[in-house]
Amino acid sequence: MNLVVDLLQRGGAVTGVVLLLGVIATVIIFERLLHYHRAQINVPEFLRGVLNVLRRGNAVEAASICVDTPGPVAHIVRAAILRGSQGEKAIRQAIDDASLSEIPRLERSLGLLATISTIGPLLGLLGTVLGMVTLFMDMESAGQYVHVKTLAGGIRQALLSTAVGLTVGIGAHGFYNYFVRRVDGIVLDMEKTASELLYFLSENPVSVEEQEARPRSEHGGPPRGL
């Protein structure tokens, strides 16, 4: 906290803006790290388990496994299973709809992080220019006798602004590239899983609705929703 206050006092208003951007970037970074960690699963093992359950003819259990499994891959698999008896076109549409809802969640706030990585160094450079302008104005006002502290203070403020801007920009840019790679990897897992599941369900249709209604019919109860 003392370091932040010192930077604000010595760096000027522009440095304060850059520090605020740094705080925003830090919040985004930790939120995205947590989100991707929660979405991380062993996709081959998960899909193998779901397909084994489907081969036994238990679509309800397979859908329940997807509900209990975090991440976009499980969401897509569940959407496909729920349309498993409606043909390839309906299954493909369910997969596409689920993907369209999941990808924006994966990419959330990455645009803002990219913007911070770009404008952070530029604002730092702006702070440097303004600091140098202020320094020359002070030197002009002081005439031919300029105290060393005046020069040192102005130069320090100018360089400090650049240093803070570069620090924020480099950090934000590095994490942005890392997150983009994570998103690309997850999307690739989604595509592979969707393709394999689409082929399986086209050859082995399943119906969650029929399996849910069957026990109720056996006990004389009405189907759900009636």
C-alpha dihedral, 64 to 65 to 71 to 74, nearest 10° = -90
| pLDDT tens column, 119-172 | 999 999 998 888 787 777 766 676 666 666 666 666 777 788 889 999 999 999
218-226 average pLDDT score: 43
141 domain residue, yes or no: yes
On whether the CB atoms of residues 80 and 198 are closer than 8 A, the answer is yes
- How large is the average pLDDT for residues 100-116? 95
Radius of gyration of the chain (CA): 28
pTM listed for this prediction? 0.80
Residue 173 has a pLDDT of 97
In a domain, 224, yes or no: no
Cα dist from 92 to 52, 83, 102, 191, 198, whole Å: 21, 9, 15, 11, 7
pLDDT digits (tens, 9 = 90+) for 33-59: 999 998 889 999 999 999 999 998 888
For 190, the 3-state DSSP assignment is helix
Q: Kindly state the DSSP code that residue 108 receives in the 8-state scheme.
A: T
- With respect to residue 223, please indicate whether it lies within any of the assigned structural domains: no
In a domain? residue 184: yes
Q: Please say whether the beta carbons of 23 and 170 come within 8 A.
A: no
What does the pLDDT read at residue 214?
67
Q: Is residue 130 part of a domain?
A: yes
Instruction: Please name the amino acid found at residue 219.
Output: H
Nearest-angstrom CA–CA distance, 213 and 207: 10
In 3-state terms, what secondary structure has residue 149? helix
- Compute the distance between CA of residue 129 and CA of residue 121 in angstroms, rounded to an integer: 12
What's the domain count of the chain?
1
Question: Is residue 226 assigned to a domain?
Answer: no
Is the residue at 81 inside a domain? yes
Residues 6+ apart with CB under 8 A from 44: none
Residue 47: name the closest of 201, 203, 202 by CA. Answer: 201
Q: Which domain holds residue 138?
A: 2-218
